[in-house]
Amino acid sequence: MSRFTVAASLGLTVGLLAALPAQAQLASANFNVNVTLTSVCRVATNTAGLAIPYTAFQNTDASGTAATVAYECTRGLAPNIAFDANGSDKQSAAAAATGEGSGVVAGLRYTMSTTASAIQAGTDATAGVGGNGGSAQTRTYAVGVTIPSGQAGAGAGATISGTHARTLLLSY
């Protein structure tokens, strides 16, 4: 083999090596993503209150339009509700999916109860480009108030107004 042939062969080999893409080296390390989630429920919507007209000694029970309270919670929670004991002679004995309570305003005894919608499950979070954080589970409670018939009421004047602040408690 002549020198020219060997030199040409080496040049061709070096030229081919320069044309090949460089091989990337890969080193990997595993790790965990650890999250501590603090579950929460919060009020999403709340109507202002209940207005109930009542005439002393009326023959039928009086009730107003139900107030609504909607809570949103971490998905998977099973919250319970109860009314506060603010002047109430009847508070829910234990937290439950529905609540009962009563009180007195303007000398009139009233009772309260709740009805709950089904829990709306919310959506799961998604990963990747365009992913989202999902949504909370929600539950709406309708709070009804009834003033039993035949009561006299108390107060001076032709028209008496009274307010009794109450709280719907959600435990989880």
Q: What is the pLDDT of residue 18?
A: 57
State residue 93's pLDDT score. 47
Q: What's the gap between Cα 115 and its chain centre? A: 17
pLDDT value, residue 46: 92
Query: In this predicted structure, what is the pLDDT of residue 97?
Result: 67
3-state secondary structure of 44: strand
Domains and CATH numbers, the chain: 39-171 (2.60.40)
Q: Which amino acid is located at 149 in the chain? A: S
SS3 per-residue string spanning the chain: CCHHHHHHHHHHHHHHHHHCCCCCCCCCCCCCCCCCCCCCEEEEEECCCCCCCCCCCCCCCEECCCEEEEEEECCCCCCEEEECCCCCCCECCCCECCCEEEEEECCEEEEEEEEECCCECCCCCCCCCCCCCCCCEEEEEEEEEEECCCCCCCCCCCCCCCCCCCCEEEEC
Name the residue type at position 90.
Answer: K
State the amino acid at position 84 in one-letter form.
D
- What string of pLDDT tens digits covers the 172 residues of the chain? 555 454 445 445 555 555 556 688 889 999 999 999 999 999 999 987 888 999 999 999 999 888 899 999 999 888 888 888 776 544 444 456 677 888 999 999 999 888 888 888 888 888 888 778 889 999 999 999 999 999 999 988 888 888 888 888 888 8
Q: Residue 21: its pLDDT value, please?
A: 65
The model carries a pTM of 0.71
Q: Answer whether 61's CB lies under 8 Å from 73's CB.
A: no
Strands, E, within 117-162: which ranges? 137-147
**Alpha-carbon gap, residue 114 to 68, rounded angstroms:** 9
pLDDT the model gives residue 8: 47
pLDDT of residue 32: 96
**Chain centre to alpha carbon of residue 137:** 5
Q: Are 57 and 152 in contact (CB under 8 A)?
A: yes
